[in-house]
A and B are shown apart, each in its own frame.
Chain A
Amino acid sequence: MKTSEIMTGRKDFYTFLQRLFYKEVDAQLLGALKGMTFSENCGDAEMQKGYDAIAAYLKNSGENSLDELAADFSKVFLGAGSHEGNAAFPYESVYMGEKPLVMQKPWEEVKKIYAQHGLALENVPSEMMEDHISIELQFMAQLDDIDDAKAFLSGHLLCWADRFCADIEKYAETDFYKGAAALLRGFLKMDLALLTELEGQEHAEKAYSVTDAQFDAVIERLSKDYKVYAPRLTGKFGRNGKEIVRFGEIKSVSEIVYDRQSDFSAKEVYYPVMQTMIYFTESESRESELKDDKGIIIIAHPCDINAVRRLDSIFLENGNHGDVYYARLRNKVKFVMLECAESFENCFCVSAGSNVCEDYAMALRLGETNSVLVKDGEFAALFNGCEETEFAPKFVTENKKAVNMPKVEGKDDVKLASGLEYWNSFDEKCISCGGCNTVCPTCACFDTVDVIYDETSVDGERRRVWSSCMLDTFTLTAGGGRARKTAGANMRFKVLHKTYDFKKRFGKENMCVGCGRCTSRCPKDIDFAEVVNGFTEALDTAKEAK
């Protein structure tokens, strides 16, 4: 089948589903449904369950089916007749918002997405919010672009469909709506697989075997439009006597250090340690400019690429407004995923769920022979002349360290977690140097400092500099007050942020990607994996004791 035919087929199905969830079944729809023959072996177990249930209902339907279906519709989706108001409320916001209410953040997000696509949503009753299941389905039916459809499906519909369908099944009386739930759930999952396949065909990925010399030539060509960064040696030595590895510009593949974790993360490339934000005079303030108009290519391991999403959440999403200084560099970045030959000393990316990464322009295996997989069309011609090969990057599936992430559920757990005696043990151990924050790919905090050029005028600039929640001045106010007063309290704050509250706020993933750098960096040999395990254990014990 041609891609266009597949697209039309799936869009028609979305339109069909849209109608099922949009309003009650009317005579016309019932007639149409009765006239349809449902597949008895559609190839997807979940969808088949749905077809079977609906077919069974239709077969036994009688005169009062319309009334019965209408009553069930109001019960399931509007909570009619339930004293507690329980229902499968068909809004994303109810399932994905901070509170189970309509018109929260997810609603704002989908409105924004609809607006970006400039699509007209027709026949939408004014009382229906834009994140209603039927409107999201209708939107899917209108999207022509595979990437856009996949993004909306995985970023929105699929995030809540499972729980929504489970609620339908819970509250529905009729097999019809139970079946509709199974159909929806099954179809959405199948569509994701389908879109992924189409996407793969669209951007036919090719892999090459590349010699060092060929690679260096590629870097040279890339350098016209990009600055190419990779982990490389710095000539400086760390406290363990090893030469420090940091991200820097490279000219040759031989510079790339691929067989150990870099001491600093890739974030310093797009979120530098120090940045000038504003220039001041007596009467004017002016945004600093970027001097360089080249793009940025960063060759990095999966943990660093996954970390960018975390920083995006804070700098682009939090507070519903983007940060100019972050965005202007971040938007230039394309990643080349550097395969991990093995799991390094302190890594626990598998426990952190960030060992695998899909968001990259190219993937790279370095070693005796080098292999490259090119995903991004822009780079398709870059390796012409190199030998084509079969290469699919592998991901680490086991680390030397394993971490049990804490299970903090609800206010009582937070209170329990915050009050643990455990944290006090760090008052002595941790010297509040903040080193762990500086090497972390997901630490985003900063301070601002104003610098004046000479004492006689106010002309100067405002800079921002990485800050560190482990420093004892982090919460110090002008009035001299400090919110968190001990190293233990800071440790608690950091650990909860990395393993619990970031996820609570942004709903997607924990902040920590398990790169292990903080452990390698700590002058007091505080091992972050052990710290988290100790916390989880202390919390579990406290929960049991209650």
Chain B
Amino acid sequence: MENIMLPKPHKILRVLKETQAEYTFRVECSDESKHGQFYMLSIPKIGEAPISVSGRGEGYVEFTIRKVGRLTDGMFGLAAGDNLFMRGPYGNSFPVESFEGKPLIVISGGTGMCPVRTTLNYFYDNPEKCPEVRFMAGFKAPDAVLFTEELEKFKDRFNTQYCLDTGEMEGFKSGFVTQCISDVPFADYEDYNVVIVGPPAMMHIAAQECVKCGAAEEKIWVSFERKMSCAVGKCGHCKINETYVCLEGPVFNYTKAKELLD
């Protein structure tokens, strides 16, 4: 029996400071991973935590980690050249192939941008695959804004709206990101997809707002963030009713997600 919980060392290629609290770790890895999947990273001296792939390229994957609490603290002693133990990729993914050829609306809150970042870049790099991308990103405050350069870049090909819950910054509206949803002309679209990722309360409000504005529930996709100690259906932490988020998620169609009551 193969030991599915044994992590393997991977070399850190570089560490990039995104904000005061967030760092992106680029790690040597040539696994095939799909949009929205995650890895279990071993945080030195602490333990394991599920972290979504926030970027990838030839021979590497990236993880963007927020420096909060004891759990992720251990990460920040690491530098390029050090080993990071990890296992994965785990979970299902956004059905990006079926997104092709239809308008795509992406709504992210804070670090919720990480799991959708590879999807956004995929459509940025292949503009012919998607007639229209609307990207709405919300952040708590100016110092929490992630991937600044990329946000700027997305402006040329996507319809973008960026928001700040508090504080002011150029190019950002003030208020919650969910306020932008009413601008989406759902009624004009024949077919479309909506991706929502962020804190649970934000996803809930955003999905309800979409539905209120005429979006069909089955066209909405969300990604759950849960405590996970195993990612392989054993530890029980991610379970909601009979659903294991690590096995059947983290991506759920909203028709299913709204049944997953905690």
* Chain A contacts to B: CB under 8 angstroms: 277-278, 280, 282-285, 287, 314-315, 318-319, 321-327, 411, 414-415, 418-419, 444-450, 452, 458, 460, 462, 464, 467, 469, 474-481, 483-484, 489, 493, 496-497, 501-502, 504-505
Q: Which residues of B contact A282 (CB under 8 A)?
A: 83
Q: Provide the residues of chain B in CB contact with A419, threshold 8 Å.
A: 261
- Residues of the A chain whose Cβ atoms lie less than 8 Å from the Cβ of B111: 479
B72, B200, B237: most-surrounded residue (chain A CB, <10 A): B237
Q: Which single member of A315, A326, A418, A448 contacts B261 (CB below 8 Å)?
A: A418
Q: Is the interface of B mostly helix, strand, loop or mixed?
A: loop
From A324, A479, A497, give the contact of B5 (CB < 8 A): A324
- B149 — which chain A residues lie within 8 A by C-beta? none
Q: Could you list some 19 contacts between A and B, CB below 8 A? A: A280-B42, A283-B9, A314-B234, A314-B236, A321-B233, A323-B5, A325-B5, A419-B261, A445-B235, A446-B229, A450-B43, A467-B229, A475-B226, A477-B226, A478-B68, A484-B262, A489-B262, A501-B241, A502-B242
Query: Which chain A residue has the least Cβ–Cβ distance from B83?
Result: A283
Q: Which B residues from 48 to 105 make CB contacts under 8 A with A?
A: 48-49, 66, 68-69, 71-72, 83, 85
Interface string of B139-183 (1 = CB under 8 A from A): 000000000000000000000000000000000000000000000
Closest to A496 in B: B241
Pairwise interchain contact B72-A478, C-beta atoms closer than 8 A: yes
B175 to chain A, nearest CB (A): 22
B6 adjacent to A322 (CB under 8 Å):
no
CB–CB B199/A481 < 8 A: yes
Closest-by-CB residue of A relative to B71 is A478
A450 touches B45 (CB 8 A): yes
The winner among A323, A460, A474 for most chain B CB atoms within 10 A is A323
- A284 nearest CB neighbor, chain B only: B9
Q: Does A458 lie within 8 Å of B235, measured CB to CB?
A: no
Please name the 10 residue pairs, one residue from A and one from B, whose CB atoms are nearest each other, closest first: A319-B233, A445-B236, A478-B71, A501-B242, A318-B233, A505-B242, A504-B242, A483-B262, A324-B3, A418-B261
Judge whether B259 and A414 touch: CB under 8 Å: yes
A448 near B48: Cβ-Cβ < 8 Å: yes
Q: Does B15 contact A (CB under 8 A)?
A: no
Contact B241 A450 (CB under 8 A): no
| Residues of B contacting A324 in the complex (Cβ-Cβ under 8 angstroms) | 1-5
B23 proximity list for chain A (CB < 8 A): none
Which residue of B has the minimal Cβ distance to A408? Answer: B241
Residues of B within 8 A of A321 (CB): 2, 4, 232-233
B47 touches A449 (CB 8 A): yes
Interface of A is mostly: mixed
Partner of A445, one of B7, B42, B237: B237
A-side contacts of B227, CB under 8 Å:
474-478, 483
Which residues from A are CB-within-8-Å of B49?
A: 478
Q: Which residues of A contact B229 (CB under 8 A)?
A: 446-448, 464, 467
B232 contacts A446, CB within 8 Å? no
Considering the chains assembled together, what is the distance between the CA atoms of A475 and B245 in angstroms? 12
- Asked if residues A411 and B234 are in contact (CB atoms below 8 Å), the reply is no
A471–B165 CA distance with the chains assembled, in angstroms: 32
| B8 CB–A CB distance under 8 Å | yes
Inter-chain contacts of B9 with A (CB < 8 A): 283-285
Would you call B184 an interface residue if the criterion is a C-beta within 8 Å of the partner chain's C-beta atoms? no
**Shortest beta-carbon distance from B45 to chain A in Å:** 5
Complex interface: chain B residues within 8 A of A483 (CB) = 200, 226-227, 240, 262
Q: How far is the CA of A501 from the CA of B49 in the complex (A)?
A: 26
B44 at the interface (CB under 8 A from A): yes
Minimal beta-carbon separation of B23 from chain A (angstroms)? 14
Cα–Cα distance between A489 and B237 once the two chains are bound (Å): 14
- A318, B262: Cβ atoms closer than 8 Å: no
Contact of A467 with B6 at beta-carbon distance under 8 Å, contacts A318-B244, A319-B244, A446-B229 already known: no
Q: Give the CA-CA distance A322 to B203 in the complex, in Å.
A: 34
B5 near A280: Cβ-Cβ < 8 Å: no
Q: Is the CB of A285 within 8 A of B47?
A: no
Check if B247 is an interface residue, CB within 8 A of chain A: yes
A319-B226 contact given A483-B200, A484-B262, CB 8 Å threshold:
no
